[in-house]
Amino acid sequence: MANYTATDVARIFEEIHHQLDKAVKGQDELIDRIIIAVFSEGHVLIEGIPGLGKTLIVNALAQIMGVKFKRIQFTPDLMPSDIIGTTVYDGGTSQFRVKKGPIFTNLLLADEINRAPAKTQSALLQAMQERTVNIDGVDYPLGDFFICLATQNPIEMEGTYPLPEAQKDRFLMKLAIDYPTPEEEREIIKAYRAGFSADRIQSAGLRQVIDVAGILAIKEYLKTVTVDDRIIEYITDIVTATRGFAGIETGASPRGSIALFQTARVKAVFNGRDFVTPDDVKDMVLPVLRHRIILEPEAEIEGERADDFLIRILERIEVPR
């Protein structure tokens, strides 16, 4: 399809969601936001305890979108070269050659990323920002489409390390995955009774909906979506309000404003529109900004969360009409 309309793209998004729902039950909001992040070409950090389907979502998404997929299981002894690759001596040619690591893919699953120390986590920084990897002084591009979907267990769990602030800021969104409802959990069990298995994703009967060329074409279409100056002012008002707000030690950077703009644009098309509304922006504030602000110690001691402050900021900012 050479020329997309908002209706065409919304239909594709809906079908991707439908296919993902075959493998992952009861995570509708999470699925929608991952789809929005993918078409914003932004990286996603998914937090939740083990066993809630984080890995399954990413594996299924790769099949539905027809993209190359690789997984790295982060462990305390993982080295940066295990991620990006290294140069090795080839005895046959008597020369050094580059052995590329698993980061050279379209969709990278960084599983339990906070089980590796900061030095190893930082191996992803250049790839996430510039879509290139430096191996022994030479830059290698990662191609036209690269996204890192990282999972992490809550930081209170044993054997986890906090992510560096510079790395957290490179994630477009931070999403939380929670327990399913009892009804959703019954549906999961029924799916297994019918033959589904998480370690055999093909048992879900997933259908490929799009490919890399289609993804890139939709990205081009998104550039035509109308974003009024008042919407841009609304975005910057929200982000700048996080700086100096009582209880917030460090506010969001301009990268947060850009992320809010990008995701609101995709959210609009997700809803079948070719223009952005204030509601599109508001819907994206929590996932896009919650990991970009640092609370003052007193606020954390009192049990406050980043989401609480962002909700207060949204209540104070005048909504454009």
0.85 exceeded by the pTM?
yes
Do 253 and 189 sit in the same domain of this protein? no
Do the beta carbons of residue 103 and residue 57 sit within 8 Å?
no
157-160, long-range: CB within 8 Å, 24+ apart, which pairs?
157/49, 159/76, 159/115, 160/114, 160/115
Kindly state whether residue 219 falls inside one of the protein's structural domains. no
151 and 26 fall within a common domain: yes
- Cα Rg for the chain, rounded, in angstroms? 20
Residue 217 counted as domain residue? no
- pLDDT value of residue 158: 60
d(CA 57, CA 47) in angstroms, rounded, equals 13
Query: How far apart (Å, rounded) are the C-alpha atoms in residues 171 and 106?
Result: 16
- Domain of 95 in residue numbering reads as 1-212
Q: Are residues 136 and 172 in the same domain?
A: yes
Q: Are 13 and 59 in a shared domain?
A: yes
Q: What confidence score (pLDDT) does residue 194 get?
A: 79
Task: Give the pLDDT score at 178.
Answer: 80
203/255 same-domain check: no
Q: Is residue 160 part of a domain?
A: yes
Ordered mean pLDDT values, 10 residues apiece, the chain (321 residues): 79 92 82 92 86 79 90 90 88 83 92 85 86 90 91 71 82 88 85 75 79 90 94 97 93 95 96 95 96 93 93 95 83
Domain boundary pick from 168, 190, 212: 212
- CATH code (residue 258): 1.10.8.80
Under DSSP, the state recorded for 162 is P
Q: How many residues would you count in the chain?
A: 321
Q: Please tell me the total count of domains within the chain.
A: 2
pLDDT at 1: 43
Q: Are residues 292 and 145 in the same domain?
A: no
Are 17 and 31 in contact, with CB atoms under 8 Å apart?
yes
Q: Are residues 116 and 206 in the same domain?
A: yes
Q: Are residues 139 and 243 in the same domain?
A: no
Residue 34's pLDDT is 93
- What pLDDT score was predicted for residue 199? 63
Co-location of 246 and 183 in the same domain: no
Is the same domain home to 54 and 111?
yes
Does any domain span residue 218?
Answer: no
User: Does residue 107 share a domain with residue 171?
Assistant: yes
